[in-house]
């Protein structure tokens, strides 16, 4: 009965934020472990960087499946399984002895854990909200940013105090303790707890305001639209750049003489600023619209990456962390908001799962490409030029999404999904 006295959608938001914070351990700690693993086992950075790339590929493929399963069965079982796999992955990492084991353990266990958590959570939030949807999605993704802020420093502190093996075991316990219990509070939709969508009563007299909250395009019709493929390309390129930077920014900082803990703090600063970006983008998108906000973030991220090419001092790296963090943080809620605006929520889980596939395939390429260029040239300069150029192309492609009206795709007659403004 207590569920009826509160809007349970906000409970889902807070629970989802906590789960994504714990899941960030699988995305933001490998860059910290990269150099110690390379030194201890004598592995090259390019070869070792394949591990998070394999995880990205596994995440991408599994996200399509979990998105479809979430649309049909709900997120709770999937997220519980995510917690089990995340903890198992870290536990098994404490026993590694070969590079192939790193590929299998980090690639499959961690990759599958992320694929079973991110899409089920972020595709569930829009089902609960008419009003404040942007803000709710921003809060959820801010949880990932908070986790990303803490994860690098936590991992570095554990390595410094206890070594690699114990660090992995502690992270396994953290993953199990947070994700599995919190997953039990997730519900797929308001009718599961006898509630209405947040804001639905206020808009009952004008159903056109909530067209995309209770209907939208099927997956097949979505795949036939031009904006789907444009946004897919943007996701691919942005995450190629993001993962290349996240994995290699700490080793690059080490190479120019910055100590391990300070280098880790640069990544943590970027993640901390991203929390502000995630929380503020809901208010920004209410003023500018979600696709103009998308273009603003892509432009800011592009400028930050070109700045990074010339950043050789600690202060310059912190400036990069601030502006790139704002761009990165703002973009994460928009990955959900843009497709929900254009395509509705009818098949939102699997649609977001496919976009996550684009992200992870792009993200899988970023770290090994940057690592290979470093191994070949002995410098990250050319690698970071490649990354900045990729983000520039993504920013240009994002401009093309502005020509489509919000909701016009879902309201278009069959065979006319490419209708535009």
Note the pLDDT of residue 421.
34
3-class state of residue 311 by DSSP: coil
> Per the domain annotation, does 383 fall within a domain?
yes
> Per the domain annotation, does 204 fall within a domain?
no
Note the pLDDT of residue 200.
57
Which range of 135-149, 151-165, 387-401 scores highest in mean pLDDT? It is 387-401
> Per the domain annotation, does 2 fall within a domain?
no
Q: How many domains, the chain?
A: 1
Closest residue by Cα to residue 24 from 100, 102, 101, 121: 121
| Per-residue pLDDT band at 68 (split at 50, 70, 90) | confident
CB distance 47 to 348 below 8 Å = no
Can you read off the two tokens belonging to residue 165?
A: 């093996």
The enclosing domain of 371 has a CATH number of 1.20.1250.20
| Per-residue pLDDT band at 210 (split at 50, 70, 90) | very low
Cα–Cα distances (Å) from 117 to 58, 66, 75, 110, 250, in that order, read 13, 9, 8, 11, 26
Mean pLDDT of 390-416: 72
| Per-residue pLDDT band at 88 (split at 50, 70, 90) | very high
pTM to 2 decimals?
Answer: 0.70
> Per the domain annotation, does 413 fall within a domain?
no
Q: Cα–chain-centroid distance for residue 326?
A: 14
> The dihedral of CA 170, 279, 241, 259: what is its sign?
negative
> The dihedral of CA 68, 151, 28, 50: what is its sign?
negative
CB distance 45 to 372 below 8 Å = no
> Per the domain annotation, does 378 fall within a domain?
yes
pLDDT above 90 covers what percent of the chain? 32
| Angle, CA of 14, 131 and 325, to the nearest 5° | 55
Give the DSSP H/E element, type plus range, for residue 12: helix 8-23
- Cα separation, 71 vs 346, in Å, equals 8
- Cα separation, 358 vs 235, in Å, equals 6
> The dihedral of CA 290, 295, 298, 299: what is its sign?
negative
> Across all residues in the chain, what is the average pLDDT?
83
Candidate from 171-175, 219-223, 359-363, 411-415 with smallest mean pLDDT: 411-415
pLDDT at 396 over 90: yes
Note the pLDDT of residue 260.
78
Which residues span the domain enclosing 402? 8-194+212-408
pLDDT tens per residue across span 321-334: 999 999 998 888 88
């Amino acid at each position: 009965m207590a569920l009826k006295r509160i809007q349970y959608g906000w409970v889902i938001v807070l629970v989802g934020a906590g789960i994504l914070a714990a899941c960030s351990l699988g995305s933001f700690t490998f860059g910290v472990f990269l150099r110690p693993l390379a030194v201890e086992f004598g592995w090259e950075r390019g070869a070792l960087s394949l591990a998070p790339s394999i995880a990205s590929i596994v995440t991408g493929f599994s996200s399509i499946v979990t998105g479809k399963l979430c649309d049909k069965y709900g997120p709770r079982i999937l997220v519980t399984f995510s917690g089990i796999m995340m903890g198992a992955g870290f536990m098994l990492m404490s026993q590694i002895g070969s590079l192939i084991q790193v590929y299998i353990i980090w690639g499959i266990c961690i990759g599958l854990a992320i694929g079973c958590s991110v899409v089920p959570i972020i595709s569930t939030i829009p089902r609960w909200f008419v009003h404040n949807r942007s803000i709710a999605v921003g809060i959820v993704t801010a949880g990932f940013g908070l986790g990303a802020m803490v994860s690098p420093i936590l991992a570095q502190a554990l390595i410094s105090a206890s070594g690699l093996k114990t660090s992995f075991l502690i992270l396994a316990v953290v993953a199990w303790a947070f994700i599995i219990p919190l997953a039990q509070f997730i519900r797929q939709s308001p009718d599961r707890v006898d509630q209405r969508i947040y804001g639905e009563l206020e808009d009952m007299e004008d159903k056109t305001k909530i067209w995309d909250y209770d209907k939208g395009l099927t997956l097949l019709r979505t795949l036939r639209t031009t904006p789907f493929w444009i946004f897919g390309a943007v996701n691919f390129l942005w995450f190629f750049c993001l993962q290349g930077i996240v994995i290699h920014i700490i080793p690059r900082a080490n190479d120019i003489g910055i100590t391990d803990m300070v280098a880790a703090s640069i990544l943590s600063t970027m993640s901390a600023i991203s929390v502000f970006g995630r929380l503020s983008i809901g208010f920004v998108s209410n003023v500018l619209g979600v696709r103009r906000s998308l273009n603003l973030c892509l432009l800011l991220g592009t400028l930050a990456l070109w700045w990074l090419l010339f950043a050789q001092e600690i202060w310059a790296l912190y400036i990069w962390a601030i502006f790139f963090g704002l761009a990165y943080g703002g973009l994460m809620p928009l990955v959900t908001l843009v497709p929900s605006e254009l395509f509705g929520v009818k098949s939102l889980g699997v649609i977001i799962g496919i976009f996550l596939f684009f992200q992870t395939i792009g993200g899988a390429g970023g770290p090994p490409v940057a690592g290979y260029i470093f191994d070949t040239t002995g410098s990250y300069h050319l690698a970071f030029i490649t990354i900045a150029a990729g983000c520039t192309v993504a920013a240009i492609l994002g401009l093309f999404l502005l020509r489509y009206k919000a909701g016009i795709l879902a309201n278009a007659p069959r065979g006319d999904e490419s209708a535009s403004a």
